[in-house]
Structure 1
Amino acid sequence: MEDTIAAVATAYGEGGIGIVRISGEQALPILNRIFQPMRKNRIQGNPDIRFQPEGFGTTIGEPIVNRRLTYGHVIDWETSQVLDEVLAVYMKGPYTYTAEDVVEVNCHGSIVALRKVLALILKSGARLADPGEFTKRAFLNGRLDLTQAEAVIDLIRAKSDRSFDVALSQLDGKLSQTIQEIRSKLMDQLVSLTVNIDYPDEDIEEITYESLLNNLLVINDMIVKLIDSADTGRIIKEGFKVAIVGKPNVGKSSLMNALLKENRAIVTDIPGTTRDTIVEDMTIRNIPIKLIDTAGIHYTEDQVEKIGIEKSKESFNQADLILLILDGSQALSKEDEEIIQVVGQRKAMILLNKMDLGQVIEEEALREKLPQAVFIKAAVKDGQGIREIEEQVEELVFKGQVKQSGSTFITNVRQVELLRLAKSSLEDGIQMARLGEALEFIEIDVKRGFELLGEIIGETVSESIIDEVFSRFCLGK
């Protein structure tokens, strides 16, 4: 018999409700031991009189019914002390989160109440659940596959509507279905290869290298499409890092305030106001953004400013996008030129600011120096150019991909690595098919790709990998 586990399923802290979850064969017996149902009854016209127990263990009110909330008290069976007034629900497996019998005790949202109730449950025969163990049991019991289990933690950590929608789509099984579709096509090829290798004299359709090559190329394209979605998926999940850089007093802090729609950074006419990097989380078009306002890059003897400038340069390597602000009302300075050299071929957006003062900067020469960059003319203090920045960020993130919530994106490093390995194995098979090598060699590569895809959804994954995945979960999930 597997252990019955228990943990607090809600975040610790002050709140209206806190939930203690129990899962396993002993969930209901434990509930019966610690919980005393109560009900209000009308006696002589008085609705407030309750039946009172004649002694400990007397059941008051209706018995516990599957999937029905029951009001009552949690009572320490050793001391007869009432620990909390609660609502309890018993849910019989397999139609539960873990596919086991599950009990949830809805306590008052006090750390003290939750700790006392959990301690009593553990004393009554349950053990404390490991982080992610409830979801791990859901996976092991076949209710979720591994991509769906990983989507649970992404749902919990979602930073935007878009990241929540992607995680919800994965939890609903969309990614699993795509992987299963690719594996099904690979299985068809494996069957054809095996039959032609093992039974060459039977009356079967003979496989040709041309048809095998075409089929493997189609399957490989499906894998490539998923891999190509990984950068967008990572950004949706973790956030798009945008570093605002430029020399002092070009409008970096003003831009940050405009994008955040609040006065987060100090703005003055005095150059060098920002001496350290300021990092803020926000969303643009439902894309989570990590916005980094950096110290103005310039020569200085001030030690504090030097530290801030070094941090600004570090931001170049960390950012997904560099948003370089230049004063469009002035010619490029030596400091501007040095920053442009650092930007180089990195993904960049060039904001020509203060254009309301008239354009002096030589735009064509600048475009020759930064041919890969996107250029936007703006007057940040008047709000001009902000909408264009948001549009370009959205375009850069999605790269023309479909933006509907139903799109399939890879958001997990483990999944991306397995897809790349499967692609490499399949490409080896494709190359051998082109060369007309023995079918036995091609079969090995196709089978390897099939198994690697199985690791993504958990069908061929090792126990150590399963433990690693679920160790990242919070306690009680």
Structure 2
Amino acid sequence: MEKKYYTIIARATPLGQGSIGVIRISGNNIIDVIKHTLKLKYIKPKYANYLPFYYKNKIIDKGIALWFPKPDSFTGEDILELQCHGNIILMDLLINDIILNINNIRIALPGEFSKRAFLNKKIDLTQAEAISDIISANSKQAVFSSMNLMNGKFSLLIKNLQKIVIDIRVQIESFLEFNYEVNFSIICNNIIVKLQKILKFLKEIIKYVKNGIRIKEGIKIILIGPPNSGKSSLMNLITNKNISIVTNIPGTTRDILHENIYFSSVPIEIIDTAGIRKTENEIELIGIKKTLQTIKYANYIFLIVEDIITKSSLSQIIESNLKNFRKKIPIVIIRNKIDLTNNNPEIIYKNDYVIIKLSIKNKTGISILTNFIKKNIIYINNNEDQFTARNRYIDSLNYIHKILIKGQKNFLKTYSLELIAEDLRLIQENLDLITGKITSKNLLKNIFSQFCVGK
């Protein structure tokens, strides 16, 4: 028998003792379970039925039974939920008794309830992933953003983009079929305009998705700079913990140190790194190499230097270490130790980066830094319409962007309707991969295997 048609059962509440435990059952054998465990032929659908639960014809507990007949259920199948007392032994006795006495029923695989909801078109793939995000959300913002994904905010953006793609494809196919009825130049001009519209819309979606990944994984801020510039002291100050060892000896920090904090309810990962300098010390060199490798995973770079640094030395540090990152990752230059230069704390906005002057030792100008983080890092990543996202979304969208740029360029050269039609077909196919309209068994296995049993 196809696995899809087995009735599945599992605990929907986590292991451990609690006042309530929920057993979830989905499939075609729900009436058999009602007859066996509740000793009734029928219970009222979508109603909290307070009933005795039976084990080997003896009442083992009393609780709530909820029946949701298909298709009006989470999975699209018949669903029965038994809410009993949250004792592991009690729940296992009920589950094992049901499996032993009813045919074609088995323990659910991880994420199998959500997988069935997806396969029965109750939710798309992004909404299924949102369930996992809601369960693992580690901040208030992550909870609401996960719910936005679950409610289909991202799916709606993808559908709107698909509508434009389909509209162009229909126009092209119509022209190729009935080209005597429409002017060729009008069709081409219309395609050019709509390709620009797709490109603009796509860039906005990519921006949303990148922010969604930050919400899910946390915003990563990496602290880099020469030895003794104040990186470790800043790490300890921001996190309010003595995480990094602070000494006057250059090269004290030789490994990557991570600490997660919440800033205005947004998770931020602060990363302290080895001081960047020329050295012969083998261990220190390994630390510096790790620093340069870690930078590419950061969302923001805080370059900490002493305020006495010359303009040429600062430019050399940026050119030598951040040349490949400065166009991709925002850089904040923190000029520390203004207590030694007698300069005032301030913030200076440049075209390529931001400069903040402060003293970590005297805690002068720290409020400037924290306000900058709130207004320019937290705020722009904190949108009530934001949704959580995954790297697979950005991979597909970047591939679509590549196809679109290349297709647009070729079309302006050749005006070939056949070639642009093929590009648009590939774009639509990759959009369908995101929502799961077109998908592979391996992708589904990888996604749903990460869910807990009972979801």
TM-score interval (norm. to shorter): 0.7 to 0.9
Q: Structure 1 residues 273 and 87 mapped into 2: Cα distance closer, same or farther (>3 Å)? A: farther
| 1:304 Cα deviation after fit | 8.1
| 1:212-361 correspondence runs (5 A) | 212-246=191-225, 250-260=229-239, 262-265=240-243, 271=249, 277-294=256-273, 315-328=294-307, 343-345=321-323, 346=325, 347=329, 348-359=331-342
Match of 1:170, SS?
A: helix
Q: Structure 1 residues 163 and 360 mapped into 2: Cα distance closer, same or farther (>3 Å)? A: same
1:193 and 2:196 aligned: no
| 1:142 Cα deviation after fit | 1.6
Residues of 2 paired with 1:403 and 1:117: CA distance? 45
Q: What residue is the counterpart of 2:18 in the other structure?
A: 15
| 1:267 Cα deviation after fit | 6.7
Q: Structure 1 residues 401 and 379 mapped into 2: Cα distance closer, same or farther (>3 Å)? A: closer
| 1:144 Cα deviation after fit | 0.7
Residues of 2 paired with 1:287 and 1:427: CA distance? 35
2:148 aligns with one of 141, 156, 169: 169
| 1:121 Cα deviation after fit | 3.2
Q: Is the 8 A contact 1:246 1:325 kept in 2?
A: yes
Q: Structure 1 residues 148 and 305 mapped into 2: Cα distance closer, same or farther (>3 Å)? A: same
Q: Structure 1 residues 316 and 433 mapped into 2: Cα distance closer, same or farther (>3 Å)? A: closer
1:109 and 2:106 aligned: no
Q: Is the 8 A contact 2:34 2:42 kept in 1?
A: no
| Greater Cα shift, 115-124 or 310-319 | 310-319
Residues of 1 paired with 2:21 and 2:370: CA distance? 40
Q: What residue is the counterpart of 2:425 in the other structure?
A: 447
Amino acid at match of 2:123: L
Q: What residue is the counterpart of 2:446 in the other structure?
A: 468
Q: Is the 8 A contact 2:233 2:246 kept in 1?
A: no
Residues of 1 paired with 2:163 and 2:90: CA distance? 51
Amino acid at match of 2:443: I
Q: Structure 1 residues 426 and 340 mapped into 2: Cα distance closer, same or farther (>3 Å)? A: closer
Residues of 1 paired with 2:364 and 2:17: CA distance? 44
Residues of 2 paired with 1:357 and 1:307: CA distance? 32
Residues of 1 paired with 2:278 and 2:400: CA distance? 50
| 1:56-75 correspondence runs (5 A) | 64-75=43-54
Amino acid at match of 2:8: I
Residues of 2 paired with 1:73 and 1:97: CA distance? 25
| 1:371 Cα deviation after fit | 8.1
Q: Is the 8 A contact 1:352 1:375 kept in 2?
A: yes
Q: Structure 1 residues 353 and 204 mapped into 2: Cα distance closer, same or farther (>3 Å)? A: closer
| Greater Cα shift, 125-134 or 275-284 | 275-284
Q: Which of 1 and 2 has greater Rg?
A: 1
Q: Structure 1 residues 193 and 250 mapped into 2: Cα distance closer, same or farther (>3 Å)? A: closer
1:6 and 2:29 aligned: no
1:374 and 2:351 aligned: no
| TM-score normalised per structure 1 | 0.77
Q: Is the 8 A contact 2:333 2:353 kept in 1?
A: yes
| 1:129 Cα deviation after fit | 1.2
Residues of 2 paired with 1:7 and 1:182: CA distance? 38
| 1:216 Cα deviation after fit | 2.1
| 1:11 Cα deviation after fit | 2.4
Amino acid at match of 1:7: A
Match of 2:158, SS?
A: helix
Gaps of at least 5 residues in structure 2 are none
Map Cα deviations across residues 84-114 of structure 1 (whole Å, 9 max, x no partner). Answer: 4543322223222112221222233344333
Amino acid at match of 1:33: H
Q: Is the 8 A contact 2:10 2:23 kept in 1?
A: yes
Amino acid at match of 1:389: L
Match of 2:5, SS?
A: coil
Residues of 2 paired with 1:64 and 1:359: CA distance? 80
Q: Is the 8 A contact 1:212 1:433 kept in 2?
A: no
1:388 and 2:391 aligned: no
| 1:474 Cα deviation after fit | 2.2
| 1:4 Cα deviation after fit | 0.9
Amino acid at match of 1:442: I
Q: Is the 8 A contact 1:209 1:434 kept in 2?
A: no
Q: What residue is the counterpart of 1:38 in the other structure?
A: none
Match of 1:30, SS?
A: helix
Residues of 1 paired with 2:279 and 2:404: CA distance? 55
| TM-score normalised per structure 2 | 0.81
Q: Is the 8 A contact 1:98 1:137 kept in 2?
A: yes
Q: Is the 8 A contact 2:7 2:106 kept in 1?
A: yes
Q: What residue is the counterpart of 1:39 in the other structure?
A: none
Q: Is the 8 A contact 1:227 1:410 kept in 2?
A: no
Number of residues paired by the alignment? Answer: 439
| 1:238 Cα deviation after fit | 0.9
Residues of 2 paired with 1:17 and 1:228: CA distance? 42
1:99 and 2:99 aligned: no
Map Cα deviations across residues 148-197 of structure 1 (whole Å, 9 max, x no partner). Answer: 12222222222222233222212111111111112112222222211211
| Greater Cα shift, 127-136 or 388-397 | 388-397
1:29 and 2:7 aligned: no
